[in-house]
Structure 1
Amino acid sequence: MTLPFPSLYPHKTDAMRKLQNLVARGHARWTGGQIEPRKLPALCLKFADRYGIERPAQQRWRAKAQGEASAHLVLWPGELYQEQKRVHWWLVVSPGGGLVVELEQLQDAGRQRIALTGYELVQMPRQGRPAAWTWRMTAANYAAWQERLRTVIRHYDEPGIRQSLHSLRRTPPFAESRRQAFELGRLAQAEWQRSQRGPCPYDGLYVGWFGRFQAAKTFPVSAKGRHKTPDR
């Protein structure tokens, strides 16, 4: 029997959204790492054979009824500018037993957070509603942003200011990370008024939002370990 290969998410935010949705639906145990592209097909085949990562929904429901955990594999090929190419992978697992629980060192996403390029997946309280999973900047990333904005504004580094605001506008558009981006935008305006003694001349910050039914772009894993990333 030929086992199907999972797909990769070329866009980081799509991979983040997939992880968020899976964890929110109960796949809150996980393990992960990075792997060379040439070794990825073997990893996918191993996980498909052992844990059924590509099983259809009907088979997953049957397994769930028998107390067996369900596993999904999420893949992201990394940033385009990285010299040493590595594919980031996460294996997320639902409640239940089975080989994946016996063979993998699974962690609780609520205690050992899934993190990616300065962002972490967390469960945030909501007034009058159940807590929700979302992505936010790590404390270190947020502090680095504060220092970066203060430095370029205090030194009146106009190219640095424009580049910083451009990068901030590209913050992954999740509820908590958007809130942090707007908070940093207000910090930048306040720092300008304090150090430059005048109204901030730069446009207000805007960070987009995910469309509820916006489909993610994916491309297949090659059996030979080679894949062509579509334009990002």
Structure 2
Amino acid sequence: MQRLQQAATHQHFFYTSGRTDLAGFDRLTKKFADVYGTELSRQTKHKRRLAGEASSLLHGVRLTTRSENGQRSVDWVLLVSEGRGLVIQREQLQDLRDPHSRLKSSDQQHELVHDGKTWSWRLTHRSYNQCLDRIHRIASLSPDRRRYIEIDGVLRDADAEILLDRLYAEPGFRLVRRQVGKLVGELRRDWRRLRPSNGPQLSERSFLAYIRFLPDQPVINGLTHAERRQAFLSAFPDQAGTPMARGHG
């Protein structure tokens, strides 16, 4: 999600996307690199854009679900800037700036938008309204349907705490953070209005942290570098000081 946001910020407004398995993504990576130059250096792409040519980026994320052949699935997005090129001719590209074709996350819960200031991810209207409905249902539950748990020796409402856990686990993009703040505020207002002051109260939470910049994790033979390193250490635990174990292999 962070990489897609960065691509949009650098004017890669057009995209196409899909889902495949690891083997299919490997073939797609090689094909797009050969035909569309997705793996050219940043400087080369910049020069081509200055010359009026389109530049392309390919990003993928592995999912927990598996394809029919048992492999892990990969959601991929090809992003393209304005300009000339085969990618413009061959691919059916959608425009990030069109409200009817906004790019959504793999779970379909978030969408990439420009709010007049910059590009950021936010909860979709559907996801946001589902959270609002859940807030109102939880706060208005009748006493016989309320569930309680003890957290650090304090009695809390189980459903409310589960919802707060989910909200504070959201990715901390600027617009998502703003939405989470509004949702938590709504929950606290409903709680004061509908729940007794002498009953279990909502736990205090720290603010939703901003997204940190994370490095890319290229996949080679179905494994990221971190996964290959872990596999190496599992097979050779006495080699912790080797270049591979130090992250240079």
Provide TM-score, normalisation by structure 1.
0.81
Give 1:182's aligned residue: 181
Alpha carbons of 1:229 and 1:147: their partners in 2 closer, same or farther (altered >3 Å)? farther
Of stretches 22-31 and 151-160 in structure 1, the one that deviates more from structure 2 is 151-160
State the secondary structure of the residue aligned to 2:118.
strand
1:53-86 superposed Cα distances (whole Å, 9 cap, x missing partner): 00012321332233110000111112x4x35532
Give 1:120's aligned residue: 111
Give 1:139's aligned residue: 125
How many aligned residue pairs are there?
A: 204
Aligned with 2:218 (options 211, 220, 225): 220
Query: Cα distance, 1:206 vs. partner?
Result: 2.1
Give 1:74's aligned residue: 59
- Is 2:83 aligned against 1:96? yes
- Whether the aligned pair in 1 keeps the contact of 2:172 and 2:209 (CA below 8 Å) is yes
Alpha carbons of 1:102 and 1:222: their partners in 2 closer, same or farther (altered >3 Å)? same
Give the Cα–Cα distance (whole angstroms) in 1 for the partners of residues 132 and 47 of structure 2: 50
State the secondary structure of the residue aligned to 1:34.
strand
Between structure 1 and structure 2, the one with the greater Rg is: 2
Give the Cα–Cα distance (whole angstroms) in 2 for the partners of residues 47 and 203 of structure 1: 48
Alpha carbons of 1:163 and 1:62: their partners in 2 closer, same or farther (altered >3 Å)? same
Give the Cα–Cα distance (whole angstroms) in 2 for the partners of residues 35 and 75 of structure 1: 10
Query: Cα distance, 1:154 vs. partner?
Result: 2.6
- Whether the aligned pair in 2 keeps the contact of 1:182 and 1:205 (CA below 8 Å) is no
Identity across matched positions, percent = 27
- Whether the aligned pair in 2 keeps the contact of 1:165 and 1:205 (CA below 8 Å) is no
Structural mapping, 1:1-232, within 5 Å:
16-78=1-63, 80=64, 82=65, 84=67, 85-111=72-98, 112-116=101-105, 117=107, 118-125=109-116, 131-155=117-141, 156-157=146-147, 158-198=157-197, 200-204=201-205, 206-211=207-212, 214=213, 216-223=214-221, 226-227=222-223, 230=226
Unaligned 5+ runs, structure 2: 148-156, 228-249
Give 2:230's aligned residue: none
Alignment root-mean-square deviation, CA: 2.0
Provide TM-score, normalisation by structure 2.
0.76
- Whether the aligned pair in 2 keeps the contact of 1:152 and 1:160 (CA below 8 Å) is yes
Give 1:12's aligned residue: none
Of structures 1 and 2, the one scoring higher in RCO (CA 8 A, sep 6+) is 1
Give the Cα–Cα distance (whole angstroms) in 1 for the partners of residues 166 and 66 of structure 2: 21
Give the Cα–Cα distance (whole angstroms) in 2 for the partners of residues 190 and 23 of structure 1: 36
State the secondary structure of the residue aligned to 1:172.
coil
Alpha carbons of 1:230 and 1:181: their partners in 2 closer, same or farther (altered >3 Å)? farther
Give the Cα–Cα distance (whole angstroms) in 2 for the partners of residues 39 and 68 of structure 1: 27
Give the Cα–Cα distance (whole angstroms) in 2 for the partners of residues 29 and 74 of structure 1: 14
Give 2:244's aligned residue: none
Query: Cα distance, 1:164 vs. partner?
Result: 1.1
Give 1:11's aligned residue: none
Give the Cα–Cα distance (whole angstroms) in 1 for the partners of residues 115 and 38 of structure 2: 28
